[in-house]
Structure 1
Amino acid sequence: MATLDTLTPDAIAARLSGPPEERAALVRAGAEAGVAEAQAVYGQMLLDGADVPADPRAALGWFTRAAAQHHVMALNMVGRCYDLGWGTAVDKTRAADCYRIAADRGLDWGMYNYATLLALGEGVAKDRATALDWLQRAAAMGNAKAINFVGSFAEDGWAGPCDMAKAADCYRQAAEGGDFRGCFNHARMLLDASQVEAALPWLTRAATLGNARFVRQMRDWIGRLDGDVRDRALAALPC
């Protein structure tokens, strides 16, 4: 069997487009050969159970090996594992350290994740002003989740005066960028402005993109609306 360093780019592409076991074998070979990108990708495969059985503990091991080679997304994923208890015990302080380093190295997801912990005071002292600064940096890079969170800061006045116009604009941008919470918040603001027809497609998109827990929460919120608007909004959601 050919080793990874003897395969041509076309041969690698063919293997990656082949059966799942071939893709997994190729990526694992790269990971075991010390290729940081392959280690990060194989870790994600193990975390998601994509083409291989899910194994969060092994995923963390591969993310850690890639992070040791300064792979910034892998470092962010080490943080995610400690943040959410994927393959290890929850350790918010360690998660915050990983996110902070990834953020300092310019990764928008590191900025977003570190800002989230700063905003909540988990693993670090609560500091919403610094959180907003990191969110704005990630938002400037086009991160839709960060844009939505900036909107929340503006709506709720978490690090300055409330600014509903800014919140509405951020939610619109986040929705257009594909963030499901942004889709919902944009729809919510449109409903508040009595723009029901404009809001309904965004509710549909939020439900399509969102996870099951979020969709349940969204249905509960819609259920508290008045009469016709409630019925039309619920009808807009996928079954």
Structure 2
Amino acid sequence: MAEYYLNGTGTPKNVEAAIATYVRAADLGHDGAAKALADHYRFGTSGVTKDLALARKWYQRAMELGEADAIVALGYMAEMGLDGPKDPVEARRLYKLGADRGSGWGAENYAILLQVGKGGAKDEKGAADYMRLAVDRGQTGAMRRLGTYYRDGIGLERDTQMAIAWYRKAADADDSDAMVELGDMTTNGRGMPRDELAGREWYRKAAEAGNGAGMRKLALGLASSEFTGVPSDNPAAIRWYHKLAETDDPEDAAFAADALAEGKAVPMDLKSARKYYEKAVAADVADTARPLVETVLRDNPGEAERAYALKILIERAEKGEGWALAALAHPGPMIDAARLEIDSAAWRAKVAALTDPKVLTDVAKALAVGQAGEAAIRVGGAICQGGERPVGGQGISAQADDGSSVAGGSAARTRPLRRNR
């Protein structure tokens, strides 16, 4: 009845009545009602206001009633620091408890923590045993992870053909991350004949399922024709970069922005790059404020754009970000060309007064751009060789006067393979 109220099925939608019904059922000992209510509070679904404290309360009630996945949900909250500090030890305990009470999700997450040694000792053999258990309980993601265990010899004897078989089982069950893995193995000829076209099709399947890693690899391949003998398709690559930027993951937006700002494999599109960098910056994605400033300054900035770029520079400098401090203290050709009004002497004095070794190191790295052995700058983009991330433009700072749980993804910006539930 609670779901009818939430969905407005056969009765007007009434969130308050739905919650009251869940509460009554949970109080009467219905474990599923307690967990369902907790899920709604945790994710803020169906009109229920997100409330992690109430989610925890009702997961605990469901746990008391014997609901194994509720135990795992509490473990996930502990691992990720939802409604409290991160506690990997408690997460590991709860995952094992949930697994031992029949949860496939718990078995998979416990295996992951055993594999990486999070919350306790590393145990790859135990990880493989629990991952098999998760597979037996129908966890699609566990099929893919078991494939990786066979591929990399994690707790099992290395067996590429078994890895492929498990990746295929997971892909057949619509696991898009497994499709990406198959794309990699097919493209690289690992355990099978090298087939670039087939690899691209696996990436396409993953991309069409909404997988960010699949979109990245498909767009890269379509743009650069890195797959031998497979022609490029620039218009399709552009479309996939835009689709990538529209996913829920701001890291994807940053990846698309990098490609569109660089203008090598696909035509330069600074306006779209700016839009996507702004999305990434708003989500606090690392190393995106600097290319945002550079993109703004490269796009024939007017007075408003110059003021916007300067505002970002000052905000970031005041937060102690070395690249911004360096740019303000020693403006490079890009800033000079944009005619930003900066009191460089004042900023050099601030840099001279710095005492934080990390900030000083970051400033030094930024100022080293242009020096041999540290970075090589070319018109239209910077190639960084000394630890700096690739950035567009001719440099916003000059040389100083005196000198994911388990993750995977593509090379430039990586995206974790999610295991949230």
- With the length of structure 2 as denominator, give the TM-score of the two structures: 0.48
User: Does the 8 Å contact 2:89/2:120 carry over to 1?
Assistant: yes
Residues 16 and 26 in structure 1, CA contact (< 8 A), matched pair in contact too: no
Amino acid at match of 2:204: T
Deviates more, 1:39-48 or 1:187-196: 187-196
Structure 2 match to 1:151: 147
Q: What's the counterpart of residue 8 of structure 1?
A: none
C-alpha distance in structure 2 between counterparts of 1:232 and 1:154, whole Å: 35
Structure-2 change in CA distance of 1:156 and 1:13 (3 Å): closer
Secondary structure of the corresponding residue to residue 142 of structure 1: coil
Matched-pair identity in %: 27
Please, which of 45, 61, 84 is the counterpart of residue 80 of structure 2? 84
Give the aligned partner of residue 15 of structure 1: 5
Q: How many Å apart are 1:165 and its aligned residue?
A: 0.9
Query: How many residues get paired?
Result: 226
- 2:102 aligns to what SS in structure 1? coil
Q: Tell me what 1:3 maps to.
A: none
CA distance 1:127–1:74, shift in 2 (3 Å): same
Quote the offset at 1:152 in angstroms: 0.8
Q: 1:31 aligns with which of 26, 33, 41?
A: 26
Runs of 4+ in 1 over 6 A off after TM superposition: none
**2:138 alignment counterpart:** 142
Structure 2 counterpart of 1:188, which letter? D
Quote the Cα distance in structure 2 between the aligned partners of 1:97 and 1:83: 11
d(CA) in 2 for partners of 1:205, 1:217: 8
Determine the structure 2 residue equivalent to 1:48: 43
Q: Are residues 126 and 184 of structure 1, via their aligned partners in 2, closer, same or farther at CA, if it must alter by over 3 Å? A: same
State the Cα distance separating 1:38 from its structure 2 match.
Answer: 0.9
* Separation in structure 1 between the aligned mates of residue 41 and residue 187 of structure 2, nearest angstrom: 41
Larger RCO (CA under 8 A, 6+ residues apart)? 1
Where does structure 2 lack aligned partners over 5 or more consecutive residues? Answer: 244-421
For residues 26-45 of structure 1, give each alpha carbon's deviation from its aligned partner in whole angstroms, at most 9, with x where no partner exists.
33443355432111111111
Segment drifting more, 90-99 vs 186-195: 186-195
Does structure 1 conserve the Cα–Cα contact (< 8 Å) formed by 2:91 and 2:119? yes
CA–CA separation in structure 2 for the residues paired with 1:104 and 1:188: 35
Shift in Å at residue 198 of structure 1?
3.5
- Does structure 1 conserve the Cα–Cα contact (< 8 Å) formed by 2:132 and 2:146? yes
For 2:216, which of 219, 226, 232 is the aligned residue? 219
RMSD: 2.9
Task: Report whether the alignment pairs 1:173 with 2:169.
Answer: yes
Specify the alignment match of 1:71 in structure 2: 67
Give, in whole Å, the separation in 1 of the partners of 2:213 and 2:178.
Answer: 16
1:204 Cα deviation after fit: 3.2
Q: Higher helix proportion, which one? A: 1
Helix, strand or coil: the match of 1:106? coil
TM-score by length of 1: 0.81
Corresponding residue SS for 1:117: helix
2:3 and 2:18 in contact (8 A); partners too: no
1:99 aligns with 2:88: no
Deviation of 1:85 after TM superposition, in Å, equals: 1.2
More divergent stretch after superposition (190-199 vs 92-101): 190-199
Q: Which amino acid aligns with 1:219?
A: R
Q: Where does residue 118 of structure 2 map in the other structure?
A: 122
Give the AA of the match of 1:227. S
The one-letter amino acid paired with 1:55 is D
Query: Displacement of 1:116 after TM fit?
Result: 0.4
Instruction: Provide closer, same or farther for how the CA distance between residues 75 and 127 of structure 1 changes in structure 2, counting only shifts above 3 A.
Output: same
